Amino acid sequence: MSLALGDLAARVGGDLRGDASCLIEGVAPLEDARPGTISFLANPRYRRHLADTGASAVILSESDLPGCPCAAIVSDHPYLTYARVAGLFAPTPPVRRGIHPTAFVSPASRVDESAWVGPHCTVAAGAVVGSDVQLGPGCVVGEGVEIGPQCRFEARVVLCRGTVVGRRARVHPGAVLGSDGFGIAEDAGRWVKVPQLGRVRIGDDVEIGANTTIDRGALEDTVLEDGVKLDNQVQIAHNVYIGAHTAIAGCVGISGSVRIGRRCRIGGGVGIAGHLEIVGDVVITGMSLVTKSITRAGVYSSGIPAEPAVRWRRNHARLRRLEDLARRVRELECGLEALRGPATARVAGRDDGADD
């Protein structure tokens, strides 16, 4: 597949600078690009590769245009424009229809005739599989699950009983939706399981990464609103509510009953304690620990960045003595206040009647 650069710019809404007839056959990073490919510059860290790129065209901002040695598509949002261009060259996954001979589909389920149920899939009683749904190898659709139109599930996705998925969801291999939440009550040193009676409800245009787990609610449902994007290996506990168009990077752990607002961005490795509320338009940087509700939009961080081991050991040794240091500072402050009291009185008495 190849597209003329002028046609490409028109389709993604960019401002063309250069030969409109130049043919583009694919995308590539700046440093590895060759003639016939288009690259992009969105992060200033990679600006050093611009002058020597072999690309036929580059997507970039107006400010980077003077250093570009080839044709360009100028955009206020180069990365977004690149995403749209890359989508034009991305291979289209095959769309199939029917039921593979090795699949088991309960006669008490309802599968649209335009859907595909792949090898070794299971569709349980009461499940509803909508139009143009694609179930990859080994998927399990539990009792009473509802799947909206045009969803795509890659290999070994498990949808536990009662899970509801909206339109156009994309779920990657190994994800589990609707497993039991971690609910246990102590009884004289033993644990009693708390039944998990809620469901998982997924909105439209949601994407869920590989091996991500979303627990069903204990009483109320666990909910992901429209447009939520989850990376790989994210853990979402029972009764969590995530607002529309929030994006969560890999290895994030969200404890039970957390409510997250719309358009939030949560970096990789973040941990969020239970029963908190995070308002919309919050950014939490990677590896942060959130232990209190966040009530104002903005950027939040915690954690200690990596540094040379010798410096870290030295600082950690000082950190362990922090309580002792604080106690000594308090003692010094008390002593200083005691000295200030009589001295202030003497100075005041002299000011009242003493001659210089």
The residue written with tokens 């869920």 in the block is: 208
User: Percentages helix, strand, coil for the chain, rounded to the nearest 5?
Assistant: 20, 25, 50
Residue type for position 337? E
In this structure, what token pair is assigned to residue 38? 């288009």
**DSSP type of residue 216:** P
Contact 227, 206 (CB under 8 A): yes
> Would the CA dihedral through 129, 135, 141, 145 be positive or negative?
negative
The DSSP bridge pattern shows strands 104-105 and 57-60 to be unpaired
Residue 255 CA from chain centroid, whole number: 15
Q: By CB neighbour count within 10 A (0-12 exposed, 13-18 middle, 19+ buried), where does 114 fall?
A: middle
The residue written with tokens 């400010």 in the block is: 63
Cα–Cα distances (Å) from 255 to 85, 215, 236, in that order, read: 37, 10, 7
**Calpha distance 7→298 (Å, rounded):** 39
Active-site annotation holder among 100, 172, 238, 316: 238
Q: How many CB atoms lie within 10 A of CB 19?
A: 14
* Catalytic site includes residue 316: no
Letter string b/e over residues 327-353, b meaning 16 or more CB atoms within 10 A of that residue's CB: eeeeeeeeeeeeeeeeeeeeeeeeeee
Classified as helix, coil or strand, 82 is helix
**DSSP type of residue 64:** G
Classified as helix, coil or strand, 273 is coil
Query: Catalytic residue numbers?
Result: 238
